Amino acid sequence: MSSTRTSTPPTAAGSGASASAAFRAGRQGRGTVETSTERADSILRALLGAVHQVISDHEVTYPEFQAAKNWLMEVGEGGEWPLFLDVFVEHAVEEVASRSQQGTKGTIEGPYHLPGSKRLPAHCELPRRADEKGTPLSFTGQVRDVDGTPLPGAEVDIWHADADGYYSGFAPHLPEGNLRGLVVTDDEGRFSIRTIQPAPYRIPTDGPTGRMIAAAGWHPWRPAHLHVMVRAEGHRQLTTQLYFEGGEWVDDDVARATKPELILRPVADGGGGLVQRYDFVLERD
Ligand code: DHB
Ligand code: FE
- Nearest atom of ligand 1 to the alpha carbon of 227: 6
Residue of the CA atom closest to atom 1 of ligand 1: 110
Q: Considering every ligand atom, which ligand is closest to the CA of 180?
A: 2
Q: Which of 105, 137, 89, 100 is nearest to 260 (CA)?
A: 105
Residue-wise pLDDT tens digits, 78-107:
999 999 999 999 999 999 999 999 999 999
- If you measure from the C-alpha of residue 63 to the centroid of ligand 1, how many angstroms do you get, rounded to a whole number? 31
Roughly what angle, to the nearest 10 degrees, separates helices 90-98 and 81-88? 50
User: How many other C-beta atoms are found inside a 10 Å radius of the C-beta of residue 53?
Assistant: 10
User: How many other C-beta atoms are found inside a 10 Å radius of the C-beta of residue 133?
Assistant: 12
Residues 168 and 248: their CA atoms lie apart, in Å, by 22
Residues 173 and 266: their CA atoms lie apart, in Å, by 29
Residue-wise pLDDT tens digits, 228-238:
999 999 999 99
pLDDT at 1 over 60: no
Give 110's contacts (C-beta < 8 A, 6+ positions apart). Answer: 86, 90, 227, 241, 255, 257
CATH 3.40.50.300 fits 12-26+35-282, yes or no: no
Q: Considering every ligand atom, which ligand is closest to the CA of 210?
A: 1
- If you measure from the C-alpha of residue 222 to the centroid of ligand 2, how many angstroms do you get, rounded to a whole number? 8
- In the DSSP assignment, the letter for residue 232 is -
Residues 124 and 140: their CA atoms lie apart, in Å, by 10
- If you measure from the C-alpha of residue 28 to the centroid of ligand 1, how many angstroms do you get, rounded to a whole number? 21
Annotated domain spans of the chain: 12-26+35-282
Residue of the CA atom closest to atom 6 of ligand 1: 110
- If you measure from the C-alpha of residue 53 to the centroid of ligand 2, how many angstroms do you get, rounded to a whole number? 33
Residues 123 and 139: their CA atoms lie apart, in Å, by 10
Residue-wise pLDDT tens digits, 210-259:
999 999 999 999 999 999 999 999 999 999 999 999 999 999 999 999 99
Question: In terms of DSSP H, where are the helices of the chain?
Answer: 2-6, 12-24, 37-57, 62-77, 81-88, 90-98, 208-215
Q: Which of 90, 94, 74, 93 is nearest to 82 (CA)?
A: 90
Q: How far is CA 44 from the centre of its chain?
A: 27
Sign of CA dihedral 8, 139, 143, 249: negative
Q: What is the pTM (predicted TM-score) of this model?
A: 0.93
End-to-end CA distance of the chain: 51
